[in-house]
Structures are given as C-alpha cells and as structure tokens.
C-alpha cells in the first residue's frame, strides 16, 4: 500500500468516526427535544387545570385559594418560558 492510499484510508476512517459522532449528537438533541416537549405538555395540562380552578364559584371568593393558584400559575409560567426557550435554542441547531 502506498502512502497516498494509506492517507485515504485514514481519512475515510476519520470521516466515518466523525459521521458517527455527529449522528450520536443529533440523537441526543432529538431526545432532549422530546423530553422538553413532554414536559411542556405536562405543564400546559397543569396550567389548564389551574385555570379551571380559578373559575370555580367556591374559589372566586377565597382569597387564600386564589393566592395559592396564582403562585402555582406563576411557577408554571416561569417553567414554561424556560422550556420554550430551551426548545427554540436546541431546535435551531
């Protein structure tokens, strides 16, 4: 085997390894996106349940309950904002 053929074989091995590394990285990103989407879905369902609690007649006059619901809603909104930002950053890669 001459030097040129040896260099080509080495380059092909490196290309293959690099391709495998890139594919593994893509899979990691896809898995992360899936996890973020699942968490967003869960939090959106929790948020909808809280919205339903807000309109219940027994809660409308209960300031302690309204404060509790508002705190939960604010917490969920902050988590959602963070997850949406992560999703956008990862999706743009």
DSSP code of residue 62: -
Cα 35 to Cα 38, 40, 43: the distances in Å are: 5, 9, 12
**pLDDT tens for residues 7-65?**
676 767 778 888 899 899 999 999 999 999 999 999 999 999 999 999 999 999 999 99
Q: How far apart are CA 46 and CA 48, in angstroms?
A: 5
- Tell me the residue range of the domain where 31 lies: 3-91
CATH code of the domain covering residue 78: 1.10.287
pTM of full prediction above 0.85: no
From CA 59, how far away is CA 30, in angstroms rounded? Answer: 41
> How many separate domains does the chain show?
1
Q: Which pair of tokens denotes residue 85?
A: 């930002």
Residue 29, CB-side half-sphere exposure with 13 Å CA sphere: 14
């Amino acid at each position: 085997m001459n030097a040129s053929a040896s260099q080509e074989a080495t380059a092909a091995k490196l290309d293959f390894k690099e391709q495998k590394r890139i594919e593994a990285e893509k899979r990691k990103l896809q898995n992360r996106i899936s996890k973020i989407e699942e968490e967003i879905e869960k939090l959106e369902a929790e948020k909808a349940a809280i919205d339903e609690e807000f309109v219940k007649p027994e809660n409308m006059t209960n300031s302690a309950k309204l404060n509790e619901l508002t705190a939960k809603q604010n917490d969920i909104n902050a988590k959602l904002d963070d997850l949406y930002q992560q999703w956008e950053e990862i999706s743009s890669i």
